[in-house]
């Protein structure tokens, strides 16, 4: 995983990170794991700044993933980075949107902010502020599991509950672009539908 992240950053920015790579994500619990967004922080060699940040988005219904690479240039904070949405994540959000992304270097605490905008209109916003709670040793993992049991399962359940709420409110529904195109195309023995390949944008 470490090598894959470095390869991705090098392919996008032309520079290979030489510092440590840190991951912000849920841990597998009771055999289940799901991360709507996983953040990979590529630190500079001296550990004082961010060389790059990779945020990998996973779509809930389709299980597809896309990795966006942000060139941080050694700064300790990334602010207001805008990236075109490249993956259909939710059937309640269209594709003609842009991510606005901000984060700081992880330490005793870290903060992340995501927005989806259409021009000047803010369509969606989510944020996370967290602090270091325990070391990743046996005792620390036990404490985390007791404090936050079944977090990946809870996350998945809350996503589907929110989807059911939006459907009940008759929110606009947007079909997966690839699946919709496949449904409308004439039947053919040569038709194939492939999920979008994982990639990056900067």
**Structure confidence at residue 24 (pLDDT):** 92
**Structure confidence at residue 180 (pLDDT):** 52
Does the global pTM surpass 0.75?
yes
Q: How far apart are CA 143 and CA 169, in angstroms?
A: 39
pLDDT means per 10 residues, the chain with 202 residues, are: 95 95 88 89 95 92 89 92 91 93 91 92 91 80 81 88 93 82 34 31 34
Inter-residue contact 60 to 193 (CB < 8 Å) = no
Q: How far apart are CA 132 and CA 111, in angstroms?
A: 12
pLDDT (tens digit, 9 = 90+) per residue, 20-74? 999 998 888 888 888 889 999 999 999 999 999 999 999 877 889 999 999 999 9
Q: Give domain limits for the chain.
A: 2-178
């Amino acid at each position: 995983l470490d090598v894959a992240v470095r390869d991705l950053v090098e392919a996008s920015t032309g520079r290979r990170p030489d510092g440590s790579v840190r991951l912000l994500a849920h841990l597998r619990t009771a055999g289940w794991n799901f991360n709507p967004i996983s953040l990979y922080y590529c630190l500079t060699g001296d550990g004082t700044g961010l060389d790059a940040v990779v945020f990998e988005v996973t779509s809930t219904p389709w299980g597809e993933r896309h990795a966006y690479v942000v060139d941080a240039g050694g700064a300790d904070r990334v602010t207001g980075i805008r990236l075109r949405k490249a993956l259909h994540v939710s059937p309640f959000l269209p594709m003609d949107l842009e991510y606005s992304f901000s984060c700081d270097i992880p330490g005793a605490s870290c903060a992340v902010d995501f927005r989806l905008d259409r021009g000047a209109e803010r369509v969606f916003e989510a944020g996370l502020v967290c602090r270091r709670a325990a070391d990743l040793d046996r005792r620390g993992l036990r404490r985390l599991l007791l404090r936050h049991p079944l977090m990946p399962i809870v996350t998945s359940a809350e996503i589907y509950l929110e989807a059911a709420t939006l459907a009940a409110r008759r929110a606009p529904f947007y079909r997966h672009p690839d699946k919709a195109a496949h449904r409308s195309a004439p039947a053919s023995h040569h038709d194939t539908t492939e999920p979008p390949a994982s990639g990056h944008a900067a």
